Chain A
Amino acid sequence: MSILVMPRLGETVTEGTVIRWLKREGEPIEKDEMIVEISTDKVDTEIPAPDSGIVNKIMVPEGGKVAVGTELALIDGQAVAAVAAPSASAVPEPEHPPDTGKFISPIVRRLAKEKNVDITQISGTGEGGRVTKKDVLGYQAEPAVQPAPVAAEQKPAGREEIVPLGHIRQAIAEHMMRSLRTSAHVTVIVEVDMEKVVNLRRAHKEEFERQNGYHLTYLPFVCRALVEALEEWPAFNAVLDGDNLILKHYVNLGIAVTIPDGLIVPVIKGAEGLNISGLAAAIHDLAERSRSEKLRPDEVHEGTFTITNPGSFGSIIQTPIINQPQVAILSLEAIVERPVVVDSAIAVRHMVNLGLSYDHRVNDGAGATQFLTGIKRRLESGDFGDELLSPVGG
């Protein structure tokens, strides 16, 4: 008998939700055939069967949210496929809450029962992640979705609507609040004269589009300048682990991509090895696959720095929230034409604001400003010409 367990879809992922079983109890399955769809904070994915055989037992129903390592199903490798008739019963409802795999103390069990709380929904702070008495007492269940009030409240119909948050929205909400609780956020903003980059893009965009089949945007230019700055100031390309700062001498650049349910941050691994064409290709590929939900789980992990691009919607200033456990995040705002003073005369230039939110636990204002002005100088130099010639490279 093989056991299918909830896989760890990334090092920070602790739980997942069973979206849909692709096989029912009693059905035959081949090794590596997809058996279940799983949704996590990071990504939705299908999970292959660990062995060939008959699906003997499904232990977590659709919609069930369980910890990594929880047993999901049993596959009987001995059973002969022909003998097993497909089970008439659909996925069973478990009689007991799914086992968290951790010890539940008497008081925790009793309090959870009294408060009618599902222990598996509580993240434990005890030894080995055990749910403690304090965890239960402090736990506020997400308010259950109430059926719309009928007569008691005299609200005109249709003026209010209750929309339960989807799991991605909930994951974003949790992550954003955790980040604000974790890091000492400070945002520094510089103005960048993009005139040279604008001219460069204008000169190449048609040829680029003809060669590659997609638009050349400003984002790869900013990413390139950012990657170079990260190599020069590694304290921004880092993770804070307790009292240690772990500097990353490679750049895995996270790109915030808007998707219908919210936001996802696919990662360009080894961004330091890509030129502008290479970055443009990677950004285009990840953005496309983010929107079509075709990302692999490992493509949303191990980012070392994140860039967000609210400017594409017209924003000129935002103060982004750091993507934990990173130590800074850059926002690219809208490029707008503005009158500026150049050589003691007023000129119209393409200007953009770059916003850097950094963790003041790790970096200070002086370093953050140097880092950000490093990006600014690189962009204002406009010296990217030959990088647009070779389609992908490094």
Chain B
Amino acid sequence: MSITEQKAAAGMELQSQESTYLDAINQALREAMEEDSRVFIIGEDVGVYGGAFKVTKGLFDKFGAKRVIDSPLCESGFIGAAVGAALMGLRPVVEVQYADFISCGWDQIVNVAAKIHYRTGDPVPLVIRAPSGAGLRAGPFHSQSPEGWFAHTPGLKVVAPATPFDARGMLKSAILEENPVIFFEHKYLYRRLKERLPKEAYEVPLGKALVRREGNDVTVISYGAMLHKAIEAAEGLAEKSISVEVVDVRTLTPLDRETLVGSVKKTGKAVVVCEDNFSYGVAAELTATISEAAFEYLDGPIVRIAPPDTPIPFSPPLEDAYLPQVVDITAAIEKLARY
């Protein structure tokens, strides 16, 4: 938990047990469904089975089949149904089993959910949860990070929390949001991160980035699983007297330009680390944003670190080579610091 979050949580009593990132999402769903009877869940195997990753475990038993709906294997169908439900006043939370499958529901998201409000003025309080990200040896169809596709689409909010605290608090905010939100959960983090969360309900606002670690020499901007590699690189470089500031983007749209640009104005140097592939990706957008807003503060080229423009390999050594690693991030920061 970051310093800021500890402060935020300072007034709150913490649970006795640590929660994983996955537990945190389950808690947010449970809370939202307890607080508001309009909230329901729909997706493949989310009910009786408790979800492919067990994120919705226990919710079917508590809230019943009308509020935790097992859908057919048809993303365009159940996403479309959820958009309709949202328009009719409910607050659906869709689980897409793997973010890779979301493209089957593409048209319902980018042409319907994202645009209706602009045509009719109606709110679309829809959340689509999508487990994304690589590192689990799951190959090209179960490992992608497609957040850039949606961040490029006007009318959607796109979030990507990196900690259990944020996952719970940001999912709560997403469910309360009147606009459609694509909620990317990094499945590599599901069971790897643990922290004690507040007992009581809380929200983490969307559209706010967070400085996870303060530093003076280089700013590293990241989110999701890559954020943790960036922090590890920063900690390692502290021993070499390179002071690295790490900023967690948290929400891709709307982007908190002020926090990102503010940090780069301070350090003069920026490294952007994303898991989305290199070309035309989130890293490109972040890089362009910085160069436009902080040009006169830059003391070196903005460095992009992202996987190559290929599908994600099955083979573990190849997947490791594909993903940015701590050593890659460290080398890039060190080189930029020396520049």
Contacts and interface: CB of A to CB of B under 8 A. Distances in A.
A105 B339 CA distance: 11
Interface stretch (B34-42, B86-94, B181-189, B297-305): B297-305
Contact of B296 (A106, A126, A130): A106
Interface string A94-131: 00000000000111101000000000000000110010
B268 interface: yes
Contacts of B299: 105-108, 132-133
User: B interface, by DSSP: helix, strand, loop or mixed?
Assistant: loop
A107 B338 contact: no
Contacts of B278: none
Nearest to A110: B296
A108 B296 CA distance: 9
A278 B299 CA distance: 55
A132 B298 contact: no
Contacts of B338: 126-127
A132 B296 contact: no
Interface in B266-305: 268, 295-300
B30 to A, nearest CB: 49
A130 B269 CA distance: 15
Contacts of A126: 338-339
User: A interface, by DSSP: helix, strand, loop or mixed?
Assistant: helix
B339 A107 contact: no
A293 to B, nearest CB: 41
A149 B210 CA distance: 53
A102 to B, nearest CB: 12
Interface centre among A108, A126, A130, A133 (most CB of B within 10 A): A133
Interface centre among B295, B296, B298, B300 (most CB of A within 10 A): B300
Interface in B320-339: 338-339
B297 A106 contact: yes
A132 B295 contact: no
Interface centre among A107, A108, A130 (most CB of B within 10 A): A107
Contacts of A133: 268, 299
A171 B336 CA distance: 32
Contacts of A127: 338-339
Please classify how large the interface on chain A is, using the bins under 10, 10 to 19, 20 to 34, 35 or more. Answer: 10 to 19
Contact of A130 (B295, B297, B339): B339
Nearest to B301: A105
A130 to B, nearest CB: 7
B42 to A, nearest CB: 50
Nearest to A136: B299
A300 to B, nearest CB: 32
B67 to A, nearest CB: 55
A106 B295 contact: yes
Contacts of B296: 106-107, 110
A112 to B, nearest CB: 12
Contacts of B297: 106-107, 110
Interface in A249-267: none
Contacts of B300: 105
Nearest to B265: A107
A242 to B, nearest CB: 16
Interface in B213-233: none
A244 B297 CA distance: 39
Contacts of A130: 339
Contacts of B268: 105, 107, 133
A126 B299 CA distance: 10
A126 B295 CA distance: 19
B289 to A, nearest CB: 16
A253 to B, nearest CB: 38
A126 B339 CA distance: 5
B339 A106 contact: no
Contacts of A132: 299, 339
Contacts of A107: 268, 296-299
A106 B339 CA distance: 14
A133 B339 CA distance: 10
Nearest to B217: A134
B293 to A, nearest CB: 12
A361 B339 CA distance: 29
Contacts of B295: 106
Nearest to B335: A127
A127 B339 CA distance: 5
A132 B299 CA distance: 7
B261 to A, nearest CB: 13
A107 B296 CA distance: 5
Interface in B145-164: none
Nearest to B300: A105
B87 to A, nearest CB: 48
A133 B299 CA distance: 6
A384 B289 CA distance: 78
18 contacts: A105-B300, A106-B295, A106-B296, A106-B297, A106-B298, A107-B268, A107-B296, A107-B299, A108-B299, A110-B296, A110-B297, A126-B338, A126-B339, A130-B339, A132-B299, A132-B339, A133-B268, A133-B299
Given A106-B297, A107-B297, A127-B339, 9 more contacts: A106-B295, A106-B296, A106-B298, A107-B296, A107-B298, A110-B296, A126-B339, A130-B339, A132-B299
For the complex of A and B, the 5 pairs showing the least CB-CB separation, nearest first, are A133-B299, A105-B299, A107-B299, A133-B268, A106-B296
Interface of A: 105-108, 110, 126-127, 130, 132-133
